């Protein structure tokens, strides 16, 4: 539940749409029918954004035949149609523009980013490989540059779990603002605004942090709420995301909200 207004502006829509959920058509546990059942019980409209990517050909929607079947399946269900595209994935880049006319919105995610030496880094690194253990701030800088490129180059509407960062960095310093310094926040916010990309408030990962949300809201950014739900106990659960949006004084006017 949310307050009905902040500063006289409505907040009635906060928590009514979960725009980032997954089915067993990619790496989720639930069938589409089961997913709809969970969402209906909780009174939340869901947007299915399964992984459309060649990064995991066996598990993800990784070719045009599977993509066509995926979209047909969503079209027959009472859900919003979306897809989660991976930054630096060739298949996502190839089909992104054509997907825009077939989906209600598109989600983009940083699931890996190129390093200056041509190798790839993972935002899920728990240990930093050589030489990045001695250059952690430089790694963070490369990641932020990639995030800015992602929102500028990909034809997406929402940046999912936007400030997610390697656990290896937080093991060095657990203060997120030591990595997301103000200048980096400002650059990412500016890039998203310039390309009309909304920031997801992720219930699963509990981010972005409050300072980022507040600055983005003050700059005029828009926000979506997403569970990134893969399991029954995650789907359409938005309590943390609603609370974070409320702390940042996000109202209906700043929400990325899909009308049907």
The three-state (H, E, C) secondary structure of 58-96, written as one string = CCCECCHHHHHHHHHHHHCCCCEECCEEECCCHHHHHHH
Report residue 172 as tokens. Answer: 């060095």
The tens digit of pLDDT for each residue in 131-176 reads: 999 999 999 999 999 999 999 999 999 999 999 999 999 999 999 9
- CA separation for the pair 235, 71 (Å, rounded): 20
Closest CA to 130 of 113, 145, 110, 115: 115
**pLDDT tier at 3, thresholds 50, 70, 90:** low
- Beta-ladder partners of 85: 52, 108
- By three-state DSSP, how is residue 201 classified? strand
Q: Are 92 and 121 in contact (CB under 8 A)?
A: no
- Beta-ladder partners of 52: 61, 85
Rounded to 5 degrees, φ, ψ at 97 are -65, -40
- CA separation for the pair 136, 117 (Å, rounded): 15
Cα 236–Cα 242–Cα 248 angle in degrees, nearest 5:
155
Helix axes 239-247, 210-219, angle to 10 degrees: 60
Instruction: Check the CA dihedral 27-31-32-34 and report its sign.
Output: negative
**pLDDT tier at 93, thresholds 50, 70, 90:** confident
DSSP annotation string for 20-42: EE--TTTT-SS-HHHHHHHHHHH
Q: Per-domain residue ranges for the chain?
A: 5-254
- CA separation for the pair 117, 89 (Å, rounded): 18
The tens digit of pLDDT for each residue in 205-255 reads: 999 999 999 999 999 999 999 999 999 999 999 999 999 999 999 999 999
CATH number of 5-254: 3.20.20.140
Q: How far is CA 251 from CA 3, 89, 133, 154, in A?
A: 10, 34, 41, 27
Lowest-confidence pick of 17-26, 86-95, 135-144, 158-167: 86-95
**pLDDT tier at 1, thresholds 50, 70, 90:** very low
């Amino acid at each position: 539940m949310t307050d009905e207004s902040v500063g006289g502006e409505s907040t009635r829509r906060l928590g009514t749409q979960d725009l980032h959920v997954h089915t067993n058509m990619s790496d989720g546990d639930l069938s589409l029918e089961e997913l709809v059942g969970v969402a209906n019980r909780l009174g939340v409209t869901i947007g299915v954004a399964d992984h459309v990517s060649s990064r995991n050909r066996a598990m993800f929607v990784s070719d045009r035949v599977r993509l066509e079947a995926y979209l047909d399946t969503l079209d027959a269900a009472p859900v919003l149609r979306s897809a989660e595209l991976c930054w630096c994935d060739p298949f996502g880049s190839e089909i992104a523009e054509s997907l825009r006319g077939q989906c209600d919105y598109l989600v983009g995610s940083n699931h890996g980013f190129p390093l200056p030496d041509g190798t790839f880094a993972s935002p899920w690194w728990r240990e930093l490989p050589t030489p990045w253990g001695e250059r952690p701030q430089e790694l963070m800088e490369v990641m932020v540059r990639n995030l800015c490129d992602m929102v500028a180059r990909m034809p997406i509407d929402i940046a999912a779990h936007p400030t997610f960062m390697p656990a290896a960095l937080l093991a060095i310093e657990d203060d997120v603002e030591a990595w997301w310094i103000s200048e980096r926040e400002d650059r990412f916010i500016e890039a998203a605004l310039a390309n009309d990309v909304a920031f997801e408030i992720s219930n699963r990962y509990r981010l972005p942090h409050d300072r980022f949300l507040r600055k983005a809201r003050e700059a005029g950014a828009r926000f979506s709420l997403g569970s990134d739900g893969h399991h029954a106990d995650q789907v359409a659960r938005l309590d943390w995301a609603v609370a974070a949006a409320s702390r940042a004084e996000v109202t209906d006017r700043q929400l990325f909200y899909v009308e049907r």
